[in-house]
Amino acid sequence: MMKVTIVKDSVEGSQKATELVLKAVKNGAKVLGLATGSTPEGLYKNLVNSDVDFTKMVSVNLDEYVGLAPENDQSYHYFMAKHLFDAKPFSKSYVPNGLAKDAATEVARYNKIIADNPIDLQILGLGRNGHIGFNEPGSPFDGQTRKVALTESTIEANSRNFAHETDVPKYAYSMGIGSIMKSHHIILMAWGKEKADAVKAMIEGPVTEDCPASILQKKHNVTIIIDQAAAAKLDKQY
Ligand SMILES: N[C@@H]1[C@@H](O)[C@H](O)[C@@H](COP(=O)(O)O)O[C@@H]1O
Task: In whole angstroms, give the CA distance from residue 89 to residue 6.
Answer: 31
CA distance 178 to 142: 4
Residue boundaries of the structural domains of the chain: 2-226
42 close to ligand 1 (CB < 6 Angstrom): no
Atom of ligand 1 nearest to the CA of 174: 1
The continuous run of DSSP H or E covering 103 comes out as helix 103-116
* pLDDT per residue as tens digits for the range 34-68: 999 999 999 999 999 999 999 999 999 999 999 99
Evaluate whether ipTM surpasses 0.90.
yes
Is residue 59 in contact with ligand 1, taking CB distance under 6 Å? no
For 189, list phi and psi in degrees, rounded to 5.
-115, 150
As a whole number of angstroms, the distance between CA 184 and CA 47 comes to 21
Q: Give yes or no for residue 161 CB within 6 A of ligand 1.
A: no
Which residues are known catalytic residues?
Answer: 63, 129, 131, 136
Q: Is 40 in the pocket of ligand 1 (CB under 6 A)?
A: no
The predicted-structure confidence for 91-146, as pLDDT tens digits, reads as follows 999 999 999 999 999 999 999 999 999 999 999 999 999 999 999 999 999 999 99
Q: How far is the CA of 113 from the centre of ligand 1 (A)?
A: 22
53 contact partners, CB below 8 Å, separation of at least 6 = 88
- Domain 2-226 -> CATH class: alpha beta
